[in-house]
Homo-oligomer: A and B are copies of this chain.
Amino acid sequence: MKELLISLDNRRKEPLYEQIYSFIKREIQSGKIPAGEKLPSSRNLARQLAVSRSTVDLAYDQLSSEGYLESIPCKGYYAGDISALYQLDSFSQAAEPVREASKPQYLCDFDVNGIADEGFPVNAWRKLSKEVLAGAEPSLFCLGDPQGEWSLRETVASYLHHARGVSCGPDQIVVGAGNDYLLMLLSVLLGREQPIAMENPTYKSAYRCFRSLGHPVRAVPLDDAGMSPEKLEECGARIAYVMPSHQFPMGMVMPIRRRMQLLSWAADQDGRYLIEDDYDSEFRYKGKPVPALQGYDTHDRVIYLGTFSKSLAPSIRISYMVLPRKLMPFYQRTGRCFSATVSRADQKILELFMREGYFERHLNRMRALYKGRHDFLMRQLRRMQDLCTVSGENAGLHVLLSLKNGRNEREAVELAGEAGIHILGLSEYFIGEMSPEDSHTVLLGYGTLDEEQIEKGCAGLAAAWRK
């Protein structure tokens, strides 16, 4: 056992124990201290270096816990076998820089997903988050209920009861960070092998989630009232995903009789459920919103999905689902083990936002704003009657244009693109093969556009399509 020639320097900011640690580490890495060689006892090394023994102990502990030393009780410290350790050098290589993918820019983007710039009530939110954090109990920072905060669930239950005709208790509500997460959770409850019947065309994002989760998806065609009950029966699925308040992308509102037909389909066999995605029911421009399917359900068969993505902001990541009482035991057994996905502070802020009337005022403001844009868009489109006819205009934040003169979707989208205008074709929303040559319909989203942009966009489309 040779003496260690460590030179310590009190003036370096590196503490003494770390200088000892680094020296011995280098010696072992370089092989100058071979594996198995005994090191001086901490007492001896401390005496030699004229430092306190605890300083050496600290260095030895560190070296041991990283495997450079092995401590053998009653015998002492020995150099460990670190042949593999040279890979540690790879630490120093910083990760190769990778660029973030940049998004394309358009003259006008008839985006169907976004919300208005003024769509998020940032001042109220800032005020409330200040309040919540200022008055925060320590408990606000402990892990919350996996289902979400009870008081938020009470608030949501009463909102759903009054605004959507949904009848449920807070105990049936699960708050989650977005619909996709809730579909993941639902997939655990329902069983992954369960085929899911979806309207065709449908909301592709939900479709992709179901596919990724391993669910077979059965595409059920739409008639003018929505998902066809006969075709649903035929497809053999026990779970059907529908958007009765405002079908995406077609924009139709499911009439009461069709709702009843779907509910009796569900009631007809055990294990059948309807997933009602009520994603943008807040924005309806004529009269009061149509009550949710869940409210008509007397057989405990509807799983209701709601979100604040449209009514507050897509980036806020707060959604909720209402589970039928039948499914609660499944949730307790297999779902409750997944911790909450929404920050407790954010849940509290949202609760106050709803309880103190901010939400209602916000919704009315947004309804008015979007109705203004909707009506303005409709006026612009009336000038394009030679080019297209409009549908799906009673609710939501987009309309459909059916192209005239046999023009197909692909041409329409391409001509628009050449004019710097981004629109999407209906074919994108079909499950299975649907070619943009066979489709004659495009979608115009207007939630993100002010009147000036709408006017410019429509003029651009008209010019491009009249070429």
Contact = CB atoms under 8 A, between A and B. Distances in A.
A119 to B, nearest CB: 7
A150 B59 CA distance: 38
Contacts of A180: 337-339
A44 to B, nearest CB: 21
A114 B138 CA distance: 11
B339 A296 contact: no
Contact of A256 (B62, B82, B295): B82
A314 interface: yes
Contacts of A342: 177, 317
19 contacts: A59-B287, A65-B253, A68-B256, A80-B256, A88-B295, A88-B296, A90-B167, A90-B295, A93-B167, A114-B143, A115-B141, A129-B130, A130-B130, A144-B315, A205-B339, A212-B334, A315-B343, A316-B343, A317-B343
Interface string A59-96: 10110111110000000000011101101101101111
Interface in A151-167: 157-158, 161, 165, 167
Contacts of A96: 169
Majority secondary structure of chain A interface residues (helix, strand, loop or mixed): helix
Interface stretch (A120-128, A362-370, A404-412): A120-128
B90 A157 contact: no
Interface in A106-122: 113-115, 117-120, 122
Interface residues of A, number: 110
A440 interface: no
Contacts of A119: 141
B212 A335 contact: yes
A2 interface: no
- How many monomers of this chain does the complex have? 2
A290 interface: yes
Contacts of A337: 180, 205, 208-209, 211-212
A133 B122 contact: yes
B287 A65 contact: yes
A188 interface: yes
B290 A341 contact: no
A169 B65 contact: no
Interchain residue pairs A-B with the least CB separation, the first 5: A67-B256, A62-B287, A177-B341, A141-B313, A315-B344
Contacts of A211: 337
Interface of A: 17-18, 21, 58-59, 61-62, 64-68, 80-82, 84-85, 87-88, 90-91, 93-98, 100, 113-115, 117-120, 122, 125-126, 129-130, 133-134, 136, 138, 140-144, 150, 157-158, 161, 165, 167-171, 177-181, 184-185, 188, 192, 205, 208-209, 211-214, 253, 255-257, 259-260, 263, 286-288, 290-291, 295-296, 298, 309, 313-318, 334-335, 337-346, 394
A286 B65 contact: yes
| Residue of A288, A317, A344 with most partner-chain B CB within 10 A | A317
A89 B380 CA distance: 42
Contacts of A168: 95
A263 to B, nearest CB: 8
Nearest to A137: B117
Given A21-B287, A291-B91, A295-B90, A150 B188 contact: no
Contacts of A144: 315
Contacts of A125: 133
A298 B168 CA distance: 53
Given A141-B115, A295-B91, A126 B133 contact: yes
A80 B340 CA distance: 44
B288 A62 contact: yes
Nearest to A317: B343
A257 B67 contact: yes
B84 A260 contact: yes
Contacts of A170: 95, 98, 100
Contacts of A115: 141-142
